[in-house]
Amino acid sequence: MAKIFFRTLLWICLLGWNGRRLAAQVLPETGTRSAAMGNASVTQTDAWAAFNNQAGLAFLKLPTLALSTSRPFLLNELADHAGVAAYPSGFGTVALSIQYDGFQAFNQQKIGLAYARKISESISGGIQFDYFNTSISNYGKAGAVSVEAGALVRISKPLSFGFQVFNPVQSRLGFGEQEHLPVVFRAGLTYEEADRFQLSVETEKNLSESPRFKAGLEYKIIRQLSLRGGIMTNPFISSFGLGLQLGNFQLDLASSYHQQLGVTPQLGISYALAPRNKHILIDPKL
């Protein structure tokens, strides 16, 4: 019992970093590729757009399954696991996402159902309905329903702009004292050169906190191997990683470093549901 109590206390203290209160938490940002790039992800068009900007799903070319796991600050009590199943069609892209964060005595879950569609060849929009649940052993559970939405504009061939808002309806989640889930706005630009070099910059504003700046870059040494790096502020975190494409599989590794709390490793894998065929072009971002 004492072990569970101290683990729960540690969980709450770490979740409260930067002055955030327990009931007002959003689960950690998800996607190993973007984690290696300072979490500058609002313009990304892989399956993890279901967590980062749903409008990016509209540019997905193939049905995709993706999984990721991370261990923030090397603590099992903060382990985060997530998965996405995305299916593009002529009517748009539908995606189901699931995320679990924590351990038996204290955990959070998020389930999201997203829909994204191209408005034109260069503009897309997306929306997602979310269900959140927080569970504390011997204390109870609390749930909330919310929504998030975004837009993505390909301004020119190398330049893209993305915008996303989380919880504009100010849903509540709490124990006893009801508190709002945070309202978060994100906007960013990506410059991509010849599908080999990518630079992304992004600003995130939680209405109850100071803004955060994120920047990340990716460079493909060869078509199958990518190197990545990035930073974010408030607090300052640096990150790096790599991606390896093996046919229809994409393997991603990332690690970020917080000056006070330490290292967070992350592993991700995705699979494009298409037979390997020389006439089919597999998007290297999947």
Domain count, the chain: 1
Measured CA to CA, the distance from residue 222 to residue 246 in angstroms comes to: 12
Which residue bears the tokens 């990716």?
Answer: 218
> Using CA atoms, how far apart are residues 214 and 232, in angstroms rounded to an integer?
4
Q: Write the CATH number for 127.
A: 2.40.160.60
CA distance 250 to 267: 11
pLDDT at res. 138: 79
d(CA 150, CA 162) in angstroms, rounded, equals: 7
Of 267, 270, 266, the closest CA to residue 285 belongs to: 270
Range of the domain at 141: 2-272
Residues of the chain below pLDDT 70: 1-26, 174-179, 275-286
Q: Rg of the chain over CA atoms, in angstroms? A: 18
Residue 225 CA to residue 117 CA, distance in Å, equals 30
The whole-angstrom separation of Cα 47 and Cα 86 is: 6
In a domain? residue 60: yes
Any domain includes 282: no
Six token digits for residue 124 = 């897309």
Query: 39 in a domain, yes or no?
Result: yes
Alpha carbon distance 258, 274 (integer Å): 39
- The answer as to whether 283 is a domain residue is no
Residue 109 resides in a domain: yes
Q: Give me the pLDDT at residue 230, please.
A: 97
pLDDT of the residue at 178 = 60
22 in Cβ contact with 120 (< 8 Å):
no
pLDDT in tens, 132-155: 998 888 778 888 899 999 999 999
Question: Distance (Å, rounded) from C-alpha 188 to C-alpha 213?
Answer: 10
Judge whether 279 lies within some domain.
no
Structure token pair of residue 127: 């929306």
In a domain, 30, yes or no: yes
Could you tell me if residue 285 is inside a domain? no
**How far is 87 from 106, CA to CA, in rounded Å?**
32
pLDDT at residue 179, rounded to an integer: 67
Residue 52 φ/ψ, nearest 5 degrees: -110, -40
- The structure's pTM equals 0.86
